C-alpha cells in the first residue's frame, strides 16, 4: 500500500487489494472501483466514466442518485428514520396506498431485502394453506421452477437447482417441489391437494433472461385458480417497469394472488421490499406472526414513495418498452458467429453466446460499458430506464465492436 492512506485518495488497485485482503470472497466483481454516479453514468476513483448497463440487477431503474429521490432521502433523514413497528409513522401508510394502486391488491407487508420478501411470501402462502385452504399441518407444498433465483437464505436455496447455491449449506427446508420452467403439464402434474402456492419469476433473469412462451404464465395462473392454489409472482427484478410494463406478468394480462417487489422499489437508495396480496391471503397474518425491525421504516417508505412517483412521472415504463424494442432490434443485427440468441423484453435483454461471456464483459468494461455475465454464457443488458437514446446508441456501438472483435 502507498504511503498515502487517506481513504478517498487510494487508487483503484489499492482499493481492490484492500477488498481482497479483508473481505469475504463471495463475489467476483469486475475490477472497476466506483466512486460516484449520476443517471446512467458511473465514475471510477481515477475519474474514468462508464455507462452502467446492469443497474445493480435492476435496482436502479430510476438511474443513479436520482435528484428527487435524493431530496426525499435527505428531508426524511432529518425528520425521523426509524420508529420500529412498535409505533406508527406517517410514511408507511402512503407507501401502502401506492403499492395498492400499482398492483390492484389490497394490502402489503414491507420488508427490506428481496430474499426477505420471498421468505415472507413463503410464510404467507403456507399459513394461508393451513388456515384458509385447510391443508393438514406441516404438509403444505410450494411449486417452484428449475433454474429459479429467489435469493440466498437457507429456505430459498433449499429449492434452488443451482448446485453452488446449495453446496455446503444443508440441511435444507422441506416443502418445495421443483418442476421444469415453461412446461404447463409439469405444473399440472405437480399440484396436489396440499399445494398452497406456485412461486414464479415471469422471466427468469438470473438464469439468463429466459422468457417463457406466450400464454404459459396465463395457463399456470389459470391452473392455480382451478385448484385453489396461490399464484405468486417474484417481480423483484422484472417489476417496476423493467420489461416495458409495470409488472412482467401484465404481458399476459393476469392478476397474481401475491406479488413480490424489491430492488427498484427504492431506486437504489435503500433496501426496501414488499409483498402484496388481497385480504383473504394477507388476513392470515396477525400481530406477532411476522415482522422486521427496519421493515416499513419511514426513511425507506419515503424513498420508495418517491421512487414510485419517478417511475410514473418520467414515464419510465413506456420508455422501457420503446427503447427496449429498439435496442433489441439493433442488437439482433450484430453479425457474429459467437451469438446464439438475442432475447429480451423492455430493457431486460440477454445475449446468449456459444462461449463464456466473462471475457466479453471485461472487454466491454475497457470500452466504458458496464454489464455482467449471468450463468456463464449470457451477457445481461439492463440499463437504467432513464437512459437516453443517444447513450443507448453509444452503448450499442461499443457492444457491436466488442462482440465482432471476438468473432
Ligand X SMILES: *Cc1c(COP(=O)(O)O)cnc(C)c1O
Residues near ligand X (CB under 6 A) are 57, 113-115, 118, 149-151, 201, 205-206, 234, 236-237, 262-263
Min dist. Cβ of residue 205 to ligand X (A): 6
289 in active site: no
Identify the active-site residue in 234, 257, 360, 381: 234
In whole angstroms, give the CA distance from residue 29 to residue 371. Answer: 11
3-state secondary structure of 259: strand
Give the span between the Cα atoms of 256 and 201, in whole angstroms.
12
**121/357 with CB nearer ligand X:** 121
Comparing CB distances to ligand X, the nearer of 62 and 237 is: 237
Q: Residue 72 or residue 237: which is nearer to ligand X going by CB?
A: 237
Residues in the chain: 407
Helix (H, G, I), strand (E, B) or coil at 64: strand
Residue 355: DSSP 8-state: S
Supply the Cα-derived Rg of the chain in whole angstroms: 21
The set of cell numbers assigned to 197 is: 402456492
CB of 110 to ligand X, least distance (A): 14
Task: Check if 149 is active-site.
Answer: yes
Least spacing, CB of residue 65 vs ligand X, in Å: 19
Q: Which is nearer to ligand X, 153 or 227 (CB)?
A: 153
Judged by beta carbon, residue 45 or residue 384, the one nearer ligand X is 384
Is the peptide bond prior to 328 cis by the omega test (within 30 degrees of 0)?
A: no
Active-site hit among 44, 133, 149, 176 = 149
Number of residue whose CB is nearest ligand X: 114
Q: Are 278 and 99 in contact (CB under 8 A)?
A: no
CA gap 303, 268 in Å, rounded:
10
φ/ψ region of 88 (left if φ > 0, alpha if ψ in -120 to 50, else beta) reads: beta
What is the distance between the alpha carbons of residues 255 and 98, in angstroms, rounded to a whole number?
Answer: 17
Secondary structure (3-state) at 150: coil
Residue 296 CB, shortest distance to ligand X, in Å, is 16
Q: Is 123 a catalytic residue?
A: no
CB of 115 to ligand X, least distance (A): 3
Q: Which is nearer to ligand X, 132 or 178 (CB)?
A: 178
Nearest residue (CB) to ligand X, 236 versus 281 = 236
Place of cell 400499482: 102
One DSSP character per residue, 384-395 reads -TT--HHHHHHH
* Minimum distance from residue 262 beta carbon to ligand X (Å): 5
State the Cα–Cα distance between residues 29 and 376, nearest whole angstrom.
14
Residue among 279, 281, 262, 261 nearest 271 (CA): 262
Residues 30 and 19: beta-carbon distance below 8 Å = no
Pairing mode, if any, of strands 339-345 and 348-353?
antiparallel
Q: Is 168 exposed, middle or buried, given 0-12, 13-18 or 19+ CB atoms closer than 10 A?
A: exposed
In 270-340, where does DSSP find H-type helix? Answer: 279-282, 298-313, 316-332
Which residue in 263, 365, 372, 391 is the catalytic one? Answer: 263
Q: Cβ of residue 153: shortest distance to ligand X, in angstroms?
A: 8
Query: How much of the chain is in helix, strand and coil states, percent to nearest 5?
Result: 40, 20, 40
Taking the complex as a whole, the smallest distance from the CB of residue 43 to ligand X amounts, in Å, to 25
Question: Residues with catalytic annotation?
Answer: 149, 234, 263
Amino acid at each position: 500500500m502507498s504511503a498515502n492512506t487517506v481513504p478517498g485518495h487510494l487508487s483503484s488497485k489499492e482499493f481492490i487489494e484492500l477488498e481482497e485482503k479483508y473481505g469475504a470472497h463471495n463475489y467476483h466483481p469486475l475490477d472497476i472501483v466506483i466512486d460516484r454516479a449520476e443517471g446512467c453514468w458511473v465514475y471510477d476513483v481515477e475519474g474514468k466514466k462508464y455507462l452502467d448497463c446492469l443497474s445493480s440487477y435492476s435496482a436502479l431503474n430510476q438511474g443513479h442518485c436520482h435528484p428527487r429521490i435524493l431530496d426525499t432521502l435527505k428531508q426524511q433523514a432529518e425528520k425521523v428514520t426509524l420508529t420500529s413497528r412498535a409505533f406508527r409513522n406517517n410514511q408507511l401508510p402512503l407507501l401502502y396506498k401506492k403499492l395498492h394502486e400499482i398492483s390492484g391488491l389490497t394490502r402489503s407487508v414491507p420488508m427490506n431485502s428481496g430474499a426477505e420478501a420471498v421468505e415472507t411470501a413463503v410464510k404467507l402462502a403456507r399459513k394461508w394453506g393451513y388456515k384458509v385452504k385447510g391443508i393438514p399441518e406441516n404438509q403444505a407444498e410450494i411449486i417452484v421452477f428449475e433454474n429459479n433465483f429467489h435469493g440466498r437464505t437457507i429456505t430459498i436455496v433449499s429449492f434452488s437447482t443451482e448446485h453452488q447455491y446449495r453446496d455446503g449449506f444443508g440441511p435444507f427446508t422441506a416443502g418445495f417441489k421443483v418442476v421444469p420452467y415453461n412446461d404447463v403439464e409439469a405444473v399440472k402434474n405437480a399440484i396436489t391437494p396440499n399445494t398452497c402456492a406456485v412461486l414464479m419469476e415471469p422471466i427468469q433473469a438470473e438464469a439468463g433472461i429466459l422468457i417463457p412462451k406466450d400464454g404459459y404464465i396465463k395457463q399456470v395462473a389459470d391452473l392455480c385458480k382451478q385448484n385453489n392454489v396461490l399464484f405468486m409472482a417474484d417481480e423483484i427484478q422484472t417489476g417496476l417497469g423493467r420489461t416495458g410494463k409495470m409488472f412482467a406478468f401484465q404481458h399476459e394480462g393476469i392478476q397474481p394472488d401475491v406479488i413480490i417487489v424489491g430492488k427498484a422499489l427504492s431506486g437504489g437508495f435503500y433496501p426496501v421490499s414488499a409483498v402484496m396480496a388481497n385480504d383473504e391471503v394477507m388476513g392470515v397474518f396477525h400481530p406477532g406472526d411476522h415482522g422486521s425491525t427496519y421493515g416499513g421504516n419511514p426513511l425507506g417508505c419515503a424513498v420508495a414513495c418517491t421512487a414510485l412517483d419517478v417511475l410514473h412521472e418520467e414515464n419510465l415504463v413506456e420508455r422501457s418498452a420503446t427503447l427496449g424494442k429498439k435496442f433489441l432490434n439493433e442488437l439482433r443485427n450484430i453479425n457474429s458467429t459467437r451469438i446464439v440468441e438475442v432475447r429480451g423484453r423492455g430493457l431486460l435483454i440477454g445475449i446468449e453466446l456459444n462461449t463464456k461471456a466473462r471475457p466479453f464483459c471485461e472487454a466491454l468494461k475497457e470500452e466504458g460499458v458496464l454489464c455482467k455475465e449471468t450463468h456463464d454464457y449470457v451477457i445481461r443488458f439492463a440499463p437504467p430506464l432513464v437512459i437516453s437514446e443517444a447513450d443507448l446508441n453509444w452503448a450499442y456501438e461499443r457492444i457491436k465492436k466488442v462482440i465482432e472483435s471476438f468473432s
